[in-house]
Amino acid sequence: MARDIILQNEGATIKLATKLAEYAQAGDAILLSGPLGAGKSLFARAFLRAFCQVPNLEVPSPTYTLVQSYESPLCVVSHFDLWRLGGPDELEELGWDEAREGVVLVEWPQKLEDLLPEDALNLEIHVLADGQRQARLSGWEERLQKVDLAGCGAGI
């Protein structure tokens, strides 16, 4: 089951990330797809701040380091940006297996190839002609049904 919503502005993206952080748990993977500038990093920052319960958490982009890890009250959460990854064989060096024990946020998940987690929450963000974003959520079948997305954006 997929759920589509329109994210009218950055605030809606932040609300969506904050809401989904309430449902995340150790062992989860959240896969963020979409073109450059779609809002993947904005979503990741808001998610990390909410999940770690630190509203002003410094969240640098992991574009060059490829991964940044953060302590949260529940578990470690690792933010991967795989744009520059040469291939899935390089993930071992980045601590992918250990990171999967906590929560992983993955930008550019197609670089995972055969390592794509089947039980992940997939968030695809597309930029519409008017500048709004369309988000498609799929995965987390039972949990996603419980998530109240009211106030995050307009349903489609």
Look at residue 92 in the predicted model and tell me its pLDDT: 83
Look at residue 151 in the predicted model and tell me its pLDDT: 67
Q: What is the Cα–Cα distance from 149 to 155, expressed in whole angstroms? A: 8
pTM above 0.95, yes or no: no
> Domains along the chain?
2-144 (3.40.50.300)
Look at residue 155 in the predicted model and tell me its pLDDT: 60
- Name residues of the chain where pLDDT drops below 50: none
Backbone angles phi, psi at 91, to 5 degrees: -65, -30
